[in-house]
Structure 1
Amino acid sequence: MRLSSLADYAIVLMSAAARKCAAAPLNATLLAAETGVPLPTAQKLVSRLSAAGLLASARGTGGGFRLARPAAAISLADIVEAVEGPIALTTCVDDHRDYCALDHHCTVKPHWSVVNKAVRSALDSVTLVHLSQPAPEFVRVKVPA
């Protein structure tokens, strides 16, 4: 499983917004410059993230974008779903699709919802607060031979 570049860029933009949002309203140009995301892509993503209720926009002088809710209340799952749609690892767990050639005799199907919930839960447990801070140092663990 791999996130699309668009989802990855949305996460990068939102983490930058979380770091910068308190100072002043943001715009796509500023976010693009801050992150290196191409401006047309940043504009497209700002629009999608606003439509999903993750960014709030204000027009006019002093306008721009702000996080629509606190960074602690916006998860990685929220951002991914804003760009990709509902998280569904297989068609078995996708509410919008109901066809699978193996459906009638698949013994794995009942397990996919458990796996999908675990992945979504993991993504939901990471918030913009986590993503807007420096990454923690990883402790190297020696594996016995």
Structure 2
Amino acid sequence: MLRLSKLTDYAVVVLLRLAEAEGVQTTPCLAGATGIAEPTVAKVLKSLGNAGLVESQRGARGGYRLARPLSGLPLSEVIVAIDGPIALTACVDSAAGSCDAEWICPVRGRWDPVNEVIRQALAGVTLADLARPPVAPQDRCSQTQPPPMAAPAALAAE
């Protein structure tokens, strides 16, 4: 199963909160607004800052702000900033020495195209896409079934 880390999930939440806020936001403010522990928010912001996704401002009115709009922040960059390179297996991108069975592996190097497709898919989703409200599913039953009929008068009288 391909699953993102909790820190990556928290990073997305923090970035979306920064986009909603006006101006610079402090770590304690972001922690309170998101419900994420302050040390975790600080850790996430440090990684996001190192990756150039957020900018920090020092001083009495210091804090963090987005380095660019949500539409310019691909999900893939957030994942790489927090979790490192996107890789399905240890031998992706023809990495050598990361697997005990690489010398006999029949699929060595064959995961690279799959990994590239996943990277491209994640790069095609921006945080602006994630910030949009979800589309409510349509109630299929109400569209395909006629409204319920009233009970016959004889049954209603009983």
- Confirm or deny: 8 A CA contact 2:93 2:112 kept in the other structure: no
Worse overlay, 27-36 or 48-57:
27-36
2:126 is matched with which residue? 127
1:27 is matched with which residue? 26
Higher Rg of the two aligned structures? 2
Q: For each residue in 1:11-43, what CA deviation from the matched residue of structure 2 results, as whole angstroms up to 9, or x when unmatched?
A: 1111211222xx121121121111111111011
CA distance in 2, matches of 1:13, 1:72: 15
Q: Secondary structure at the match of 1:110?
A: coil
- Cα root mean square deviation, aligned: 2.2
Q: For each residue in 1:70-95, what CA deviation from the matched residue of structure 2 results, as whole angstroms up to 9, or x when unmatched?
A: 21111111111111011111111157
Query: Where in structure 2 are there 5+ consecutive unaligned residues?
Result: 141-158
Deviation at 1:66, TM superposition (A): 0.9
1:18 is matched with which residue? 19
2:68 is matched with which residue? 69
Q: How many residues matched?
A: 140
Going from structure 1 to structure 2, the CA distance change for 1:66 and 1:130 (only over 3 Å counts) comes to same
Map 1:89-108 to 2 at 5 A. Answer: 89-93=88-92, 98-108=97-107
Question: When the two structures are superposed, what TM-score results if normalisation uses the length of structure 1?
Answer: 0.84
